[in-house]
Amino acid sequence: MARNRYDMDEVLEDSFDLNQLKRLAKYISPYKKKMVGIIFLMLSASALTMLIPIFFQRIMDYYIPGKNMKMIVTMGLMTLAVAAYSAVSLGLKIKTMSVIGQNIIHAIRNDIFCHLQELPFSYYDDRPHGKIQVRVVNYVNSISDLLSNGIVNTITDLCNLFFIIICMLYYDVRLTLLCLCGLPLLALVIVFIKKKQRRAWQVQSNKQSNLNAYIAESINGIWVTQSFVREEENTGIFNHLSRNYRQSWMRAVMFNFTMGPSVDMISAITTAFIYILGIRWILAPDTTLTVGVLIAFTAYISRFWAPINTLANFYNSLLTAISYLERIFETIDEPVNVKDAKDATIMPPIEGKVEFKDVSFSYEEGQKILNKINFTAQKGETYAIVGPTGAGKSTIVNLISRFYNVDSGQILIDGVDISKVTIRSLRTQMGVMMQDSFIFAGTIMDNIRYGNLSATDEQVVEAAKTVCAHDFISQMENGYYTEVNERGSRLSAGQRQLISFARALLADPKILILDEATSSIDTETETLLQKGLNRLLEDRTSFIIAHRLSTIKNADCIMYVDKGDILERGNHEELLAKKGEYYHLYMSQFDFLK
């Protein structure tokens, strides 16, 4: 699948409604008992409140004609008791259900986040990050309403409806059946608009995602925007996305808005029939229907339609929620390609021998990046990888950490195939420093400690000293406790590289991988850094990718890689003597002297 851009809607592959609901049900099921309890409470409350019209009817039918004030007051007090009961149970319901609802949200969000941690680089590379984030945060939030109120309300309303129907049946069967005739009509309306409504909400969730992605990029790329004076243009794009969001929203809610009036209309029609036929039946000679019963019955009609109205609302929010749910579940279902084998063992403490045996690899089928690569790095050796851009240098080192699976061949560390051990046990023993040195929001101390969470402050400082970062860190306002953020705040690119270098060292790796790790560091600092490193690297295997040849000159072995192949290998002197690609590369740095 091609990479997604902020203004492209993501294609949805799985979109079967019932499945989404079944999965949602799984999240709900731990709370079944509590919910049943609450439902009983609510039902008892609503059964009791249903007595109120009966009280009223008795007052009108018996106590007022009989001028029985005592009974009237009694009825009033009984109503008060009912009210108290229903008030307390409502409070309980809100409390319990908001806890349950939030627990479910919490669980879903947890699942999607945990799954995201397992997903490979490619998942993150293929779409704007804002689109991933919107699923974890905003989408999950959007279903919270449904969960904290929707489900219990719906079940209580359904039960209410059941009670009301029984009450109505008790009064008069024919009138009840008449009233029920409205339901098929409603079903017809629902069937009629469902497909369009569903689609409209899907579109809407996509537009929301697009907007979110653009906002995220706008903020992270703010300096580029400002330096290229793109403010107007970007505002135009933003407003375009914002407008799309608005339009899709309007279209989707329109469908929701038709539901209420439809229910009202159907209810009015049935009510009309009840009056007309009711009166006809009262007048019939062999009637069993009394005036009092008809009046009482009309009071029930509105009680019959009220829960149906809320059910219709629930249906609306359900359809809305499904368009978010399907996205959430889609992410949770995203297959994890790089994962522990079933019988994966723990990688024993790494000695440092790294072996590539006929390793082939491609990101996309048919586009070979590496073709049967072979080499063996012994413990403690430094391997440098050079070659033109796009030759596959980073790919080689990424395979050692098993960020990707090889197509064929084997990568062995100390003779152990890395695909047979757990990823965690493998990666925790490696220190990888990538060219993009990502800095988390927090203190510099926290950022370095990320490499080894149990490191003491002293160890952090020690690591910083080794990479020559200590001086500039201590000069900052709050030293190691200076707050920095993703965009790096005031840190220069070189300083950020030093911090992530310290981070990698702190992890005490047995294998160290430096992928353009020092490109933004000045040569003076680099020389100092290397002196410190030499001591550290004595018994560690390291892989270095660098364009600055002074960085790699002292490597035990230099591999010149191009077009997926190792064209030359040997140490600096050997390769120079060979007068091949490396020689050419080396000499080119003196061109400027000519």
Site for another protein in 183-222 (CB under 8 A): 208, 211-213, 215-222
Q: Are 38 and 98 in contact (CB under 8 A)?
A: no
Q: Is 565 exposed, middle or buried (0-12, 13-18, 19+ CB in 10 A)?
A: middle
69-118 and 291-333 helices cross at what angle (nearest 10)?
10
SS3 call for 190: helix
In this chain, which stretch among 116-124, 186-194, 456-464, 557-565 interacts with another protein, using CB under 8 A? 116-124
98: tokens are 């908001």
Contacts by 252-255 with C-beta closer than 8 Å and gap 24+? Answer: 252/197, 252/200, 252/201, 252/203, 252/204, 252/320, 254/200, 255/193, 255/196, 255/197, 255/200
Using CB under 8 A, which of 321, 325, 464, 521 touches another protein? 521
d(CA 196, CA 562): 54
22, 95, 174, 196: residue in contact with another protein (rule CB under 8 A): 95
Q: How far apart are CA 480 and CA 443, in angstroms?
A: 7
Residue 577 binding another protein, by CB under 8 A: no
Measured from the CB atom, is 377 or 439 closer to another protein?
Answer: 439
Q: How far is the CB of 173 from another protein (least distance, A)?
A: 19
With contacts defined by CB under 8 A, name the span among 15-23, 178-186, 267-275, 563-571 that binds another protein: 267-275
Least Å distance, CB 467 to another protein, is: 11
User: Which residue, 16 or 364, has its beta carbon nearer to another protein?
Assistant: 364
Cβ at position 350, least distance to another protein in Å? 13
Residues in 222-241 at the binding interface with another protein, rule: CB under 8 A:
222-231, 233-235, 238-239
* 427 forms part of the interface with another protein (CB under 8 A): yes
Nearer to another protein by Cβ, of 18 and 65: the residue is 65
- Give every CB contact of residue 242 below 8 A, 6+ residues apart in sequence: 211
Task: Say how far apart CA 37 and CA 155 lie, in whole Å.
Answer: 12
Residue window 455-474: x/- pattern of binding to another protein, with contact defined by CB under 8 A: -----------------x--
**Could you say whether residue 362 binds another protein (CB under 8 A)?**
no
The reply to whether 476 sits near another protein by the rule CB under 8 A is: yes
**Binds another protein by CB under 8 A, chosen from 14, 264, 417, 574:** 264
According to CB under 8 A, which one of 43, 200, 294, 384 is a site residue for another protein?
A: 294
- Quick check: 435 binds another protein (CB under 8 A)? yes
Q: What gap in Å lies between CA 497 and CA 493, rounded to an integer?
A: 6
Size of the site for another protein (CB under 8 A): 186
CB 565 within 8 A of CB 359: no
Beta-strand ranges (E) seen in 260-381 are 354-362, 368-377
Q: Determine, following the binding rule CB under 8 A, whether residue 82 of this chain makes contact with another protein.
A: yes
- Under the criterion CB under 8 A, does residue 389 sit at the interface with another protein? yes
User: Which listed residue (311, 319, 498, 544) binds another protein by CB under 8 A?
Assistant: 498
CB-nearer residue toward another protein: 176 or 495: 495
Give the torsion sign (CA, 338, 343, 346, 347): negative
Coil, strand or helix: which one is 228? coil
Q: Which of 15, 317, 360, 520 binds another protein (CB under 8 A)?
A: 520
Q: Which of 20, 46, 144, 541 binds another protein (CB under 8 A)?
A: 144
Shortest CB 358 distance to another protein, Å: 24
- The yes or no reply on residue 4 touching another protein (CB under 8 A) is yes
In DSSP terms, 542 is beta-bridged to 382, 512
